[in-house]
Amino acid sequence: MNTDNSIEEEIKERIAAGNMAYHVHKKLFTSKLIPRNVKLQLYNMLICPVVTYASETWVLKENMINKLMIFERRIVRKICGPTRTDDGYWRIKTNQEINEILKGQNIIGFIKKQSKLVRPC
């Protein structure tokens, strides 16, 4: 937290740490031998904890939620790869397709779930 009572710098550092965690394990995520569902499980085990460390104390504002969602969608797009269209062209996956892949279990839901577990009765 800084002098303005904002945790935006902390979230930026967490996202940078998540990017580093992805690049450390990039060979796993780009391997054609590993199925997509296993790669998504690896994402949940290796990258999400790095990004959401100490997230129980965060008060998320709309711009911080957007930054975290952008980070997650970018990583999932890299993990899943492009989609081939009917006319033979390749395109990146849309946000709707990413949401379907994640089955509604995004990083914001994880953070909110964590903060509920920590709150005293």
Three-state SS at 9 = helix
Instruction: Please check whether residue 104 lies inside any domain of the structure.
Output: yes
To the nearest whole percent, how much of the chain has pLDDT over 70?
A: 91
Q: For residue 36, is pLDDT > 80?
A: yes
Sorted by sequence, the CB contacts under 8 Å of residue 84 that are 6+ apart come out as: 90
Residue 32 belongs to domain spanning: 8-112
Instruction: Please check whether residue 117 lies inside any domain of the structure.
Output: no
Instruction: Please check whether residue 118 lies inside any domain of the structure.
Output: no
Instruction: Please check whether residue 77 lies inside any domain of the structure.
Output: yes
Instruction: Please check whether residue 29 lies inside any domain of the structure.
Output: yes
Q: Alpha-carbon distance 18 to 48, whole Å?
A: 7
| Structure tokens that stand for 115 in this block | 């903060």
Instruction: Please check whether residue 34 lies inside any domain of the structure.
Output: yes
Please name the residue ranges forming H helices in 35-83: 36-42, 48-51, 62-80
Closest CA to 16 of 63, 62, 74: 74
Instruction: Please check whether residue 119 lies inside any domain of the structure.
Output: no
pLDDT of residue 64: 92
Q: What is the DSSP letter of 25?
A: T
pLDDT of residue 3: 58
Looking at the structure of the chain, the number of domains it has is: 1
Instruction: Please check whether residue 120 lies inside any domain of the structure.
Output: no
Per the prediction, the chain carries an average pLDDT of: 88
